[in-house]
A = this chain, B = another copy of it.
Amino acid sequence: MSENARIYQLPGPRGLDRLDHRPEPLWREVLGHRLRRLRLHRGETLLETAAAAGISPQYLSEIERGRKEPSSEMIAAVAGALDTDLLDLTEQVTAELRRESRAAPLEPTPSRATTQAMLALAA
């Protein structure tokens, strides 16, 4: 549990709760976000999931943070390691994108303004 507490102390909600500020986030961002969510939900470390997927933990970290563009085989490998598949993943990515598009209206919602203020403080 201490690991989870540590995770929540990471730099900011941006890594976990906010995607990029573009009109629409990029595929790798949403995907990565979803993969991290799944991994944390299973209570696994980068090391464990990466090992199960046959990749390095460093690389999995970058995938989750949308820093690298995983190949389709990599996506499949990580999905397998998380006991899910491409169908589930794309479904969840779709759901997340839908949530995002609803959460980004022309007028800022209170939680959105709060998040931006938090980001300004962090910067």
Contact = CB atoms under 8 A, between A and B. Distances in A.
Interface string A61-77: 00000000101110110
A117 interface: no
Max chain B Cβ within 10 angstroms of own Cβ: one of A27, A30, A69, A75:
A27
Contacts of A87: 24, 94, 97-98, 101
What are the 4 tightest A-B residue pairs by CB atom distance, in nearest-first order? A26-B72, A27-B72, A87-B97, A28-B72
Nearest to A75: B27
Given A24-B85, A69-B72, A73-B26, A94 B90 contact: yes
Contact of A69 (B25, B26, B69): B69
For this chain, the copies found in one complex come to 2
Interface residues of A, number: 23
Max chain B Cβ within 10 angstroms of own Cβ: one of A28, A30, A75, A90:
A90
Contact of A86 (B24, B73, B76, B85): B24
14 contacts: A24-B76, A24-B86, A26-B72, A26-B73, A26-B75, A26-B86, A27-B75, A27-B86, A69-B69, A69-B71, A69-B72, A87-B97, A90-B90, A94-B94
